[in-house]
Amino acid sequence: MKLLFLGDVMGKAGREAIIERLPELIEDFSFDFVVVNGENASHGRGLIEGHFKAIVEAGADVVTLGDHAFDQRETLSFIEREPSLVRPINFMDGTPGRGATLITGRNGHQVLVINALGRVFMNPVEDPFGAVEKAIADCPLGEVADAIIVDFHVEATSEIQAMGHFVDGRASLVVGTHTHIPTSDQRILNGGTGLMSDAGMCGDYNSVIGMEIEEPLNRFTTGLVTGRFTPAAGEATLCGVVIETDPKTGLCSSIEPLRVGGSLSQALPVF
């Protein structure tokens, strides 16, 4: 299988880039399955239903969230009726929605997508390692799922790397989201799991992690809050990671970064 994962969609610039570029990427590279992190898609914080549907219509099979999952209040209601929308699995019991979902890809294969939230430098949540462990045990790779993707929404690269080793040999891909900065450490671990510390964002990089420069710079230089953060509106770069899986095992056989458009250096997969 050929799977594409795209990092945090940041505001209108990120949404427009997804709508414009994702269908062509799917056609050009024959991706069997696409996961997009959408937790910043609506005004930089959260995801409203209309924006969720636009990302799905552009070609996303699953949309994941993160620490801003419920910043838009309407998400609390529509997440319950959308099996392809996944919030962190280690939120407290009773949180609306689901933390893992099994979805049929374009080739008929079953893909398990798990979303988890880190605990280092983040607000308190339940244990992500135990929650991911249970989700994989309930839907094991090669038995129920043909591929497993874990979106681990973290601040610390140490935590995402630990998760990669924790599930090595039991998941196809573990990829970090949240920092909005694409890392260049994509690799296949000893057990066959693909790992990338952060997929980066789908947004305008002429910014401070996707926000217009003025207010973040002001806060760093003066310590004062004088306005609101506003998503940058220039041309976005789509950032993510592409993997191929072994048809027999579901493990990762190749992994490459993807960067398209905007101001970052470009990178396209070579199959």
**Which residues are catalytic, by number?**
68
Asked whether residue 266 is assigned to any structural domain, the reply reads no
* pLDDT tens sequence across 192-240: 999 999 999 999 999 999 999 999 999 999 999 999 999 999 999 999 9
**How many residues can be counted in the chain?**
271
Asked whether residue 206 is assigned to any structural domain, the reply reads yes
Asked whether residue 236 is assigned to any structural domain, the reply reads yes
Query: Could you give the percent of the chain with pLDDT greater than 70?
Result: 100
Domain count, the chain: 1
- Angstrom distance (rounded) from CA 85 to CA 55: 11
Residue whose token pair is 């505001």: 11
* pLDDT tens sequence across 2-32: 999 999 999 999 999 999 999 999 999 999 9
pLDDT at 271: 77
Cβ–Cβ under 8 Å, residues 39 and 47? yes
Sort strands 2-6 and 33-37 into parallel, antiparallel or unpaired: parallel
* pLDDT tens sequence across 100-111: 999 999 889 999
- Angstrom distance (rounded) from CA 125 to CA 90: 6
209: its two tokens: 């992690």
Asked whether residue 268 is assigned to any structural domain, the reply reads no
CATH number of the domain at 66, please.
3.60.21.10
- Angstrom distance (rounded) from CA 1 to CA 107: 8
Asked whether residue 271 is assigned to any structural domain, the reply reads no
Q: Is the predicted pLDDT of residue 90 greater than 80, yes or no?
A: yes
Range of the domain at 29: 2-260
